[in-house]
């Protein structure tokens, strides 16, 4: 068997002094191949390690044709290589990955749910199980069973076996990379699991610290189960506590009453929104009555803080009173100008032509069809000129 890389012989090593064997460039990305490395290359569902090489950021690590390429933020010079691992990232990956091994084993052995896929995400991990659905009670039972194995501090070891010996091992998964030849690496959780895996793992299950199941969703006839382990679980709890403290201050309620208090606030807000819409309709009707009674074939008005829906209601109300009129309405909304041109059935105004001319003056984008044209402008500084243009189309 060839010499094993340092990340495999000692997954808790955080630095290494070695030397550069080869430098290269792949599509504009400089890379280095080293005599040895503590950086795990992406594979088996586990993301690659990051860190520095001679002070230069290692941004990605991949296996290419049997070589491990360290992709760098900037080119490297030949010679000695000093590696420093982003240990926080590595240990997090080991907690999540080892947690997956344990979760998979317990789910299969105690619940007969096989794992068909694993994803180690940036914030949340998941496995896909053959279970069609998982009840809340079964989730509780599964989580407690995993917790029991964490408390048991089961030893975790890795070893290599020949292809012949592999056939005699009670391995949980027989999946190997396509085209694999030679010896096979097995990772064992004492008394719980034996599996093929090339990733980095903890020394015992106690180092997982905690594994929290977050929920499920159906997928491809099975169930996707979300979880976090170790430091992620503690960070997630801390974030929840910070958020709850802010909600307690805003809602004036203890944790157990936050949902009920928020529901009351939402109901009050909906009631206010309904009341606001009713008042807006009444305002549009009142203004339409006043504007529709004005003499002449053209009506113009500007309103503050109203949206396009209000302008449309206002225009409909005016034209319902006098279908021979044409209207030019504007509003300021959130620092942006909006405008609407509309004509009644009896109006002779060429709305599309007038709308395009007004939009050009306002520097606006807009469009329409038939008797209506609307748009948005950066501001309404040229409204007076636009209004004069509107009148020229009478």
Q: For residue 138, what is the domain's CATH number?
A: 3.30.980.10
In whole angstroms, give the CA distance from residue 173 to residue 89: 27
Closest CA to 330 of 297, 364, 371, 296: 364
271 located within any domain: no
Instruction: State both tokens at 55.
Output: 């002070």
In whole angstroms, give the CA distance from residue 104 to residue 291: 72
Q: How confident is the model at residue 387 (pLDDT cuts 50, 70, 90)?
A: confident
Question: What average pLDDT does the segment 263-284 reach?
Answer: 92
266 located within any domain: no
**Percentage with pLDDT > 70 across the chain:** 98
Q: What is the DSSP string of 65-78?
A: TTEEEEEESS---S
Q: Tell me: pLDDT of 104 over 60.
A: yes
Q: Are residues 61 and 111 in the same domain?
A: no
Q: Tell me: pLDDT of 174 over 80.
A: no
In whole angstroms, give the CA distance from residue 309 to residue 302: 14
Question: What average pLDDT does the segment 204-227 reach?
Answer: 97
What is the reported pLDDT for 205? 98
What is the reported pLDDT for 178? 66
In whole angstroms, give the CA distance from residue 113 to residue 110: 8
Q: Are residues 220 and 204 in the same domain?
A: yes
Q: Are residues 75 and 104 in the same domain?
A: no
Q: Are residues 98 and 212 in the same domain?
A: yes
Q: Are residues 114 and 52 in the same domain?
A: no
Question: Which position has the higher pLDDT, 393 or 78?
Answer: 78
270 located within any domain: no
CA atoms within 13 A on the CB side of 381: 4
What is the reported pLDDT for 156? 97
Q: Which of 177-186, 193-202, 209-218 has the lowest mean pLDDT?
A: 177-186
Q: Are residues 18 and 115 in the same domain?
A: no
* 323-379 pLDDT tens trace: 999 999 999 988 889 999 999 998 888 888 888 999 999 999 989 888 999 999 999
251 located within any domain: no
* 46-83 pLDDT tens trace: 999 999 999 999 999 999 988 999 999 999 999 999 99
Which residue, 177, 211, 238, sits at the end of a domain? 238
pTM listed for this prediction: 0.78
User: Under DSSP, is residue 120 helix (H, G, I), strand (E, B) or coil?
Assistant: strand
Q: Are 333 and 315 in contact (CB under 8 A)?
A: no
Which residue, 209, 238, 267, sits at the end of a domain? 238
Structural domain boundaries enclosing 303: 279-392
What is the reported pLDDT for 19? 96
Q: What angle do CA 5, 8, 13 make, to 5 degrees?
A: 95
What is the reported pLDDT for 123? 96
* 81-98 pLDDT tens trace: 999 999 999 999 999 999
**Total domain count, the chain:** 3
CA 330 vs CA 47, 148, 333: distances in Å: 55, 68, 10
253 located within any domain: no
CATH number at residue 388: 3.10.310.40
What is the reported pLDDT for 241? 95
269 located within any domain: no
Q: How confident is the model at residue 389 (pLDDT cuts 50, 70, 90)?
A: confident
What is the reported pLDDT for 3? 86
Which residue, 85, 113, 135, sits at the end of a domain? 85
Q: Tell me: pLDDT of 180 over 80.
A: no
Q: Are residues 27 and 101 in the same domain?
A: no
In whole angstroms, give the CA distance from residue 357 to residue 57: 56
CB contact set of 268 (below 8 Å; sequence gap of 6+): none
Q: Are residues 178 and 222 in the same domain?
A: yes
Q: Are residues 38 and 140 in the same domain?
A: no
What is the reported pLDDT for 179? 60
Q: Are residues 69 and 120 in the same domain?
A: no
Query: Strand 336-343 and strand 298-304: pairing?
Result: unpaired
Q: Are residues 109 and 68 in the same domain?
A: no
Specify which of 25-29, 51-55, 197-201, 273-277 reaches the highest per-range mean pLDDT: 51-55
Q: Are residues 71 and 96 in the same domain?
A: no
Q: How confident is the model at residue 1 (pLDDT cuts 50, 70, 90)?
A: low
CB contact set of 269 (below 8 Å; sequence gap of 6+): none
Averaged pLDDT of the chain? 92
Question: Which position has the higher pLDDT, 393 or 119?
Answer: 119
Sheet holding 125-129, edge to edge: 115-120, 125-129, 222-229, 211-219
Beta strands in 165-296 (DSSP E): 184-189, 193-196, 211-219, 222-229
Question: Which position has the higher pLDDT, 179 or 208?
Answer: 208
């Amino acid at each position: 068997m060839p010499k094993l890389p340092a990340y495999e012989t000692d997954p808790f090593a955080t630095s290494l002094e070695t030397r550069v064997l080869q430098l290269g460039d792949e599509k504009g990305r400089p890379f280095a191949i080293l005599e040895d490395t503590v950086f795990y290359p992406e594979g088996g569902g586990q993301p690659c390690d990051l860190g520095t090489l001679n002070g230069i950021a290692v941004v990605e690590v991949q296996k290419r044709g049997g070589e491990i390429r360290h992709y760098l933020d900037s080119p490297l010079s030949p010679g000695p290589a000093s590696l420093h691992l982003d240990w926080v990232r590595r240990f997090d990956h080991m907690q999540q990955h080892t947690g997956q091994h344990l979760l998979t084993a317990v789910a299969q052995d105690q619940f007969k749910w096989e794992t068909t896929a694993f994803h180690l995400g940036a914030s949340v991990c998941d496995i896909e199980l053959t279970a069609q659905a998982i009840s809340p009670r079964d989730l509780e039972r599964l989580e407690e069973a995993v917790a029991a194995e964490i408390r048991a501090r089961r030893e975790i070891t890795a070893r290599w076996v020949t292809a012949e010996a592999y056939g005699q091992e009670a391995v949980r998964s027989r999946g190997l990379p396509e085209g694999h030849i030679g010896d096979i690496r097995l990772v064992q959780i004492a008394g719980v699991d034996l599996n093929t895996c090339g990733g980095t793992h903890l020394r015992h299950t106690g180092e997982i610290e905690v594994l929290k199941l977050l929920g499920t969703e159906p997928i491809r006839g099975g169930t996707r189960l979300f979880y976090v382990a170790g430091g992620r679980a503690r960070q997630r709890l801390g974030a929840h506590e910070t958020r709850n403290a802010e909600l307690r201050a805003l809602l004036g309620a203890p944790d157990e009453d936050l949902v009920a208090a928020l529901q009351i606030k939402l109901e009050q807000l909906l009631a206010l929104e309904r009341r606001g819409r009713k008042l807006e309709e009444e305002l549009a009707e009142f203004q339409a009555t006043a504007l529709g009674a004005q003499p002449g074939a053209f009506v113009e008005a500007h309103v503050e803080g109203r949206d396009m829906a209000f302008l449309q209601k206002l225009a409909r109300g005016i034209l319902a009173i006098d279908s021979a009129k044409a209207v030019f309405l504007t509003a300021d909304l959130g620092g942006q100008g909006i405008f609407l041109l509309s004509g009644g059935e009896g109006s002779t105004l060429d709305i599309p032509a007038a709308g395009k001319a007004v939009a050009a003056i306002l520097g606006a984008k807009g469009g329409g069809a038939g008797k209506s044209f609307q748009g948005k402008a950066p501001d309404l500084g040229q409204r007076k000129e636009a209004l004069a243009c509107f009148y020229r189309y009478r």
